[in-house]
């Protein structure tokens, strides 16, 4: 294979892909919540990257380009498995005790919500992202998938309903619970935790 | 339709706002309630902080090359 002037050196590309692989796998797993599907998505991404290397425009960031491809491959996996019971599983998010935890019977907050300091300052950003990912990982599978479809794949709610063949009200409930749960997890493990 | 006016209702709208656009009535109820409710003011700030944090996380995952591959 010849090396095009505007393309990228194939050996260098292979090295960069190798370095990125753990990140790609982590992101795919966070979204798909199934190691086999995540592996498939990453393998297909690597293949597409190698096949499309000639078209890579050296001025755009390599990681941006590769993660963009990964997002498409991850969505393909979600579509492929959309009708499987593992994806439509229930029982992991049926409870409403989060509401109970936060509100009194009359609908008032049990406790005053705390002031949250900006978690993304240079000094603590990486630590915060680690906690955030742990909290995302902790979401029940169904909630986690729709939440990351919104917040990582950045798919419109309407389109998520079509892709997963679920009713909007069902989606709203899942997302509402995911957001409440994430808020609670971050309150306990970051914002309200002992000073670092 | 029941008018949302408890902190539970209003915080629900504040979360829903991240995923869908609120109706005129919902936006109005939200504004009126939040004007006088410190707890929901705080809750709203939390949702905005979280929105920014998720955006920063996404940008970090999607664009920043890890230092060792530079
Ligand atoms: Zn309130």
Class of the domain covering A10-80:
mainly alpha
| Average pLDDT value for residue range A122-138 | 93
Res. A87 pLDDT band, cuts 50 70 90? low
Write out the residues of chain B at the interface with chain A, using a CB-CB cutoff of 8 A: 6-9, 11-12, 15-16, 18-20, 38-39, 42-43, 45-47, 49-50, 52-54, 56-58, 60-66, 68-69
Tell me the C-alpha distance between A150 and A154, whole Å: 5
User: Which residues of chain A does CATH 1.10.1740.10 include?
Assistant: 10-80
Res. A11 pLDDT band, cuts 50 70 90? confident
φ/ψ of residue B3, rounded to 5? -80, 125
- Tens digit of pLDDT for each residue in B24-70? 999 999 999 999 999 999 999 999 999 999 999 999 998 865 544 43
Q: CB A151 to CB B54 under 8 A?
A: yes
Q: Is the pLDDT of residue A91 over 60?
A: no
Q: Is the pLDDT of residue A101 over 70?
A: yes
Q: Which residues of B26-59 are buried (b: 16+ CB within 10 A; e: fewer)?
A: beebbeebbeebebbebbbebbebbeebbebbbe
> According to the model, what pLDDT value does residue A99 have?
82
> According to the model, what pLDDT value does residue A20 have?
95
- Tens digit of pLDDT for each residue in A171-181? 999 999 999 99
Q: Is the pLDDT of residue A44 over 80?
A: yes
How near does any CA of chain A get to the CA of B30, in Å? 15
Q: Which of A19, A113, A180 sits opposite B66 (nearest CB)?
A: A19
> According to the model, what pLDDT value does residue A196 have?
58
Q: Are A49 and A17 in contact, with CB atoms under 8 Å apart? A: yes
Q: Is the pLDDT of residue A15 over 60?
A: yes
> pTM (2 decimals)?
0.89
Q: In chain A, which among 56-75 make CB contacts under 8 A with chain B?
A: 61-64, 67-68
Q: Which of B7, B12, B68 to mutate to test the interface with A (most CBs of A within 10 A)?
A: B7
- Tens digit of pLDDT for each residue in A153-166? 999 999 999 999 89
Class of the domain covering A95-191:
mainly alpha
What ipTM, to 2 d.p.? 0.89
> According to the model, what pLDDT value does residue A59 have?
65
Instruction: Name the residue ranges covered by the structural domains of chain B.
Output: 7-60
Q: CB B69 to CB A120 under 8 A?
A: no
User: Which residues of chain A does CATH 1.10.10.10 include?
Assistant: 95-191
């Amino acid at each position: 294979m010849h090396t095009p002037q505007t393309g990228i050196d194939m050996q260098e590309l292979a090295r960069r892909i190798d370095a990125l692989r753990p990140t790609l796998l982590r992101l795919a797993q966070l979204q798909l919540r199934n190691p086999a599907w995540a592996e498939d998505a990453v393998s297909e991404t690597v293949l597409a990257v190698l096949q499309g290397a000639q078209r890579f425009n050296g001025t755009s960031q390599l990681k941006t380009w590769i993660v963009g491809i990964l997002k498409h491959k991850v969505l393909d996996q979600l579509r492929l498995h959309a009708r499987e019971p593992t994806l439509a599983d229930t029982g992991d998010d049926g409870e409403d005790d989060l509401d109970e935890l936060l509100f009194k019977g009359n609908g008032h907050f049990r406790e005053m919500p705390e002031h949250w300091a900006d978690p993304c300052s240079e000094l603590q950003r990486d630590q915060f992202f680690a906690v955030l990912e742990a909290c995302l990982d902790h979401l029940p599978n169904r909630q986690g998938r729709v939440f990351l479809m919104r917040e990582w794949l950045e798919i419109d709610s309407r389109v998520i309903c079509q892709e997963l063949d679920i009713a909007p009200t069902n989606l709203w409930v899942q997302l509402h619970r995911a957001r409440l749960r994430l808020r609670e997890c971050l309150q306990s493990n970051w914002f309200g935790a002992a000073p670092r | 339709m029941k008018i949302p006016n408890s902190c539970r209702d209003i915080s629900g709208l504040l979360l829903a706002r991240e995923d869908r656009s609120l109706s005129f009535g919902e936006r109005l109820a939200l504004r009126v309630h939040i004007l006088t409710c410190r707890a929901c003011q705080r809750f709203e700030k939390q949702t905005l902080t979280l929105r920014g944090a998720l955006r920063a996380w996404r940008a970090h995952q999607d664009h920043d090359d890890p230092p060792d591959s530079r």
